[in-house]
Structure formats: C-alpha cells, structure tokens
C-alpha cells in the first residue's frame, strides 16, 4: 500500500501546539505558547478594515510594493531588497530551500527554536548544534561555534533577541560571529522577529555588520501583537531578493493582500505614535511580575534581555504534570534540545499574557509547590 514520504516524520505536532491543547483540556493558564493575550493596536485593526474590500487580489510574490517600502523605510534598507512572506516561519523555510541542500550543513545554537531543524532536514541539509553555556546568563560558546564549522557548512542560523532564552548577543559575540562567517564564506540567517522587544540597549543587527552575507527575518505579528496575521519579511543581501521571491512563490505565492496593506499603513504609525516603547514598558512590567514571583518561590530564573520569554529552573517537575496538576502550562527545556542534554529542570515561560493571567499562574504554581512540599 502506498505510504507517506518519510519526511512527514519531521512534521509531528509541535510542543507548542501540544502544550496549548493540554492547557485547554485541563483549564490551565497558558504561559507556554508565545501568542499575546492583548489585542492588536487599534490603528492596525482600523487599517485592516479599510483594506478589506479595497486590496483583495493576489500581490506579486515579492510583496505589496507599499509594504516593501514601509519596511525599507523602517529598517533603513532598500525596498528592492525586501521580500514579503507568510510570517517568519515561511521566511525561514524559503531561506532553507534557497541556501542549502543535500550534503550541506547549517550551524545553529542549542537551545533552538523548533522549526529550524525540520526545515533544514526537509531541504536535505544536516543541522549541527552548538550548545550555549548557562551560568547566571546564557552565553555563546564561541570556540565551540568555530569548531562546528566544516567545509560542508553553508550558513549560520541565529536568533537575536534569542528564542527561547531571551538573551541578546553582545557586541563581542556578534563581531566574532561575523568574522567567522567572513573567514569561512558563510551566509548568516538572522531571525530578528523580536527586534523591537528588548529591555536595555537595542539588539545589534547582523545585517548592518555584514550586509553582503546576512538574510534578516522580520515579523509584523511579533511587532504588532497580531501573530495570526502571518505577515513576515526577509531583507536580503543586495541583488538577491528576486531569486528569493522566486522560491517563495512555490510556497504560499503571496501573503494575505489586505493584511499586507494594513501592515504597510501601520508600521509608520507605530513609530509615530511611540507604540514600541509603550509595548516594551508593558512587557517589562509583566516580565518583572513573573520573574519576581518565581524568585519568591525560591526558583532560579535567568533574566531575559529581549523577547517575551523567561527561562527558569523548576527542579523535579514535568511539563505535563504541571499542566494537569498545577493548572499552569510552560514549555519544557528539553523541547529545545536534540543533540545535547537540556539543563535539568529548565522551563520556558511566556509573559506575553495579561498581568492577571500571570498572577493567577503564579498563585497556582505556588499552591502546587506547597502541596508537593507538605504532601
């Protein structure tokens, strides 16, 4: 009997969908999957209402011109180097298909975001994992990164700010990585979907350091709290956007036209109205609420410098037990490791929820830990 291709084994239910399903099943507070509880800003929703009925047909695969121009203006790049995609995930898929294939290797850090490995393998390449060091903070093991590069390596795949750790590359780390890419003539795929979610200095852009070899991935969903809209983009090295757009046309062909138009209108409005500083301050308050609440229970946390994720150590706890018995969903650290062991008891919490949800989750977790301690 005919059967599915073995590559479908790479496409099992993700840990994020699994934990969200369990959260719904058990009535748990979902601090697992990273989707905001707050609605998108009013100016984005109003722009979408104006666009529906006015911009409804296919756009070019490379994207709606006005959106490419808005992104270029926002990022300080040329519009001709911008390709619009159906979210950051499609952007990463298109780059995997465009930059490496059978016999190639792509070097990435561990812990890693879950789509990176299946996308590399679907393209025929082999992921090579370099574990980050965890002391009081997450750090890149630069000597190990260089040792991982071989003659088969085609690209370095990085996230800045980094999901799941919430860390941001230091200047020394970024400069060393760029030097390695130039030394070994490698592409850099820089997943920067959280570029506006940081809590101190803005994260460095690899594109500005090495524009000739960096592909930058961005996301309107992360910036504008509309993750289900699936509007992302790629900024390519000069001259490469037409080939990348040619590859993405075999995936979704184009993103939703009215939503492209809405984001084109909303991006300059977000800058004008100071939306991003307000968003960062709101997330900073919720980060502090979660971090201080976990620390008050005696738990070890690792302060994020960006994203809306916080990692913590919850010794001797299992994620599915936590969601069933404590009523709190979080992502187990083991989900972000494949070649190296995860730090024992590591969990990732999302604080892109309301303060009320975070407080409820902390109360539930505290009650559960007390119950465990006293039987």
DSSP state of 40: P
Instruction: Place 374 in a pLDDT band, splitting at 50, 70 and 90.
Output: confident
* Residue from 68, 299, 304, 103 nearest 194 by CA: 304
Confidence (pLDDT) at 203: 95
Write down the pLDDT at residue 313: 97
Give the pLDDT band (50/70/90) at residue 183: very high
> What is the pLDDT averaged over residues 258-273?
98
> H helices within 110-237, ranges in order?
116-122, 142-148, 171-183, 206-209, 220-223
97 pLDDT above the threshold of 70: yes
pLDDT (mean) for 312-340: 94
Q: What is the pLDDT of residue 14?
A: 85
Mind giving me the DSSP string for 256-292?
-HHHHHHHHHHHHHHHHTTHHHHHHHHHHHHHHHHHH
Burial class of 289 by CB neighbour count within 10 A (0 to 12, 13 to 18, 19+): middle
The model's pLDDT over 30-85, given as tens digits with 9 standing for 90+, comes to 999 888 999 999 999 999 999 999 999 999 999 999 999 999 999 999 999 999 99
- Averaged over 95-112, what is the pLDDT? 97
Domain locations along the chain = 6-40+275-374, 42-272
pLDDT band at 90 (very low <50, low <70, confident <90, very high): very high
42-272: CATH architecture: 3-Layer(aba) Sandwich (3.40)
Cis upstream peptide for 230 (omega within 30°): no
- CA 338 – CA 126 distance, rounded (Å): 13
When pLDDT is averaged across residues 126-149 and rounded to a whole number, the result is 96
Average pLDDT for residues 159-178, to the nearest whole number?
96
- pLDDT range class, residue 312, cuts 50, 70, 90: very high
Q: Give the model's pLDDT for residue 25.
A: 95
**Above 80 in pLDDT, residue 196?**
yes
Kindly give, in sequence order, each residue whose CB lies less than 8 Å from that of residue 267, ignoring residues fewer than 6 positions away: 70, 71, 73, 74, 220, 223
Assign a CATH topology to domain 6-40+275-374: 3.90.1150
CB-based contact 130:110 (threshold 8 Å): yes
**Rounded to two decimals, what is the model's pTM?**
0.95
- What is the model's pLDDT at position 301? 97
Residue 20's pLDDT is 92
As a whole number, the mean pLDDT across the chain is 96
Which residue did the predictor score with more confidence, 225 or 16? 225
Q: Which of the four pLDDT bands, split at 50, 70 and 90, describes residue 104?
A: very high
Query: Is there a shared CATH topology between the 6-40+275-374 domain and the 42-272 domain?
Result: no
Say whether pLDDT at 375 is over 80: no
């Amino acid at each position: 009997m005919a059967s599915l291709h073995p590559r479908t084994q790479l496409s099992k239910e993700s840990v994020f969908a699994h934990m969200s399903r369990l959260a719904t099943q058990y009535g748990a507070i979902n601090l697992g999957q990273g989707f905001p509880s707050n609605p998108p800003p009013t100016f984005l929703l109003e722009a979408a209402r104006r666009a529906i009925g006015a911009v409804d047909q296919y756009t070019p695969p490379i994207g709606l011109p006005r959106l490419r121009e808005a992104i270029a203006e926002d990022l300080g790049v040329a519009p001709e180097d911008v390709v619009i995609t159906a979210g950051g995930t499609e952007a990463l898929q298109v780059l995997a298909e465009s930059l490496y294939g059978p016999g190639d290797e792509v070097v990435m850090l561990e812990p890693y975001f879950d789509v990176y490995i299946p996308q590399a393998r679907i393209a025929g390449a082999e992921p090579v994992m370099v574990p980050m060091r965890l002391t009081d903070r997450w750090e890149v093991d630069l000597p190990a990164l260089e040792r991982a590069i071989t003659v088969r390596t085609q690209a370095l795949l990085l996230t800045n700010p980094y999901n799941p750790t919430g860390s941001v590359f230091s200047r020394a780390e970024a400069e060393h990585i760029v030097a390695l890419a130039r030394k070994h003539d490698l592409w850099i795929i820089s997943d920067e979907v959280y570029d506006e979610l940081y809590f101190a200095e803005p994260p460095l852009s690899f594109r500005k350091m090495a524009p000739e070899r960096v592909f930058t991935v961005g996301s309107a969903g992360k910036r504008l709290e509309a993750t289900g809209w699936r509007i992302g983009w790629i900024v390519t090295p000069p001259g490469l956007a037409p080939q990348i757009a040619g590859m993405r046309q075999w995936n979704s062909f184009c993103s939703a036209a009215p939503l492209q138009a809405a984001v084109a209108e909303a991006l300059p409005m977000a800058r004008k109205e100071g939306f991003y500083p307000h968003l960062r301050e709101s997330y900073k308050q919720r980060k502090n609420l979660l971090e201080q609440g976990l620390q008050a229970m005696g738990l070890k946390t690792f302060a994020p410098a960006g994203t809306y994720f916080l990692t913590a150590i919850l010794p001797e706890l299992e994620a599915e037990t936590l969601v069933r018995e404590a009523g709190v969903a979080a992502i187990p650290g083991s989900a972000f490791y494949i070649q190296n062991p995860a730090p024992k008891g590591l969990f990732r919490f999302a604080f892109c929820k309301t303060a009320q949800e975070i407080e409820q989750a902390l109360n539930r977790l505290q009650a559960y830990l007390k119950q465990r301690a006293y039987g």
